[in-house]
Amino acid sequence: MAMLEVNNLSIQFGGLHAVDNFQLKIEKGELYGLIGPNGAGKTTVFNLLTGVYKPTEGIIKLDGQDITGKSIIDINKAGIARTFQNIRLFKDMTVLDNVKAGLHNHYKYSTLTGILRLPKYFKVEKEMNERAMEILKVFNLDQEAGLLAGNLPYGKQRKLEIARALATDPKLLLLDEPAAGMNPNETQELMDTIRFVRDHFNMTILLIEHDMKLVGGICEELTVLNFGQVLCQGETAKVLKDPAVVTAYLGE
């Protein structure tokens, strides 16, 4: 069974068909890219998948479960986590606390336990700290655990956002332009990190990206969107050579 299956997904804003009859199938553990020119509808697809927008038409299934039209919170609980084009961290909180915020779905104690600092509070907090540090190590951010997130260099803030998303233990991770604003060294390191996350956690990843080196380097399959519609879909090397894609997107 596919991890994500989307059929006939559409949304209109006024008269604009921002996403039109969109189809997508991603297998478990696949690293999948969504590309296309500016304004093609890529972020709108992410907003539909995560419950920010309700589709006008279509069906979204995550690991066999119909999540179409569900709320952002319910979709997150069902197993989709995302990062944003413009980084959205809790900048006044520490790096560690940002990751712990992602863990809260899975570690719980009552308000009273927290206020009275009962033994369960210390036990759960200890477990959360350990788990958050494990995740930070994966991203080579454990040395910065005590720093304020807003004080990290840009490339590390992007990695921390992925770490926080991963802390929710998702089935599907959506990354919206993860390499935006990164220098070539940071982009190379990010590619290694994304590959590691997929391999280490057997994670299914869908990413939007304009950096063709990254897309060609790590994505196994691609969908190209153009004017809200699928222009081409399939194995990365084939898609990037497709004449329609070259004309419409790569501008050659």
Give least dist CB 153 to ligand ATP, A: 23
Closest by CA position to 120, among listed 209, 249, 128, 235: 128
Angle between helices 184-201 and 119-138 (to 10 degrees): 120
CB-nearer residue toward ligand ATP: 38 or 111: 38
CB-nearer residue toward ligand ATP: 105 or 229: 229
Binding site for ligand ATP (CB under 6 A): 13, 16, 18, 36, 38-44
Helix (H) or strand (E) segment spanning residue 108 = none
Give least dist CB 34 to ligand ATP, A: 9
Nearest-10 Cα torsion for 90, 94, 99, 101: -60
Give least dist CB 42 to ligand ATP, A: 4
Give least dist CB 155 to ligand ATP, A: 20
CB-nearer residue toward ligand ATP: 149 or 182: 182
CB-nearer residue toward ligand ATP: 44 or 168: 44
Give least dist CB 95 to ligand ATP, A: 27
Q: Which two tokens stand for residue 16?
A: 């604009």
**Integer angstrom CA distances of residue 77 from 4, 102, 123, 241:** 15, 11, 24, 38
Q: How far apart are CA 214 and CA 242, in angstroms?
A: 18
CB-nearer residue toward ligand ATP: 163 or 214: 214
Q: How far apart are CA 225 and CA 202, in angstroms?
A: 26
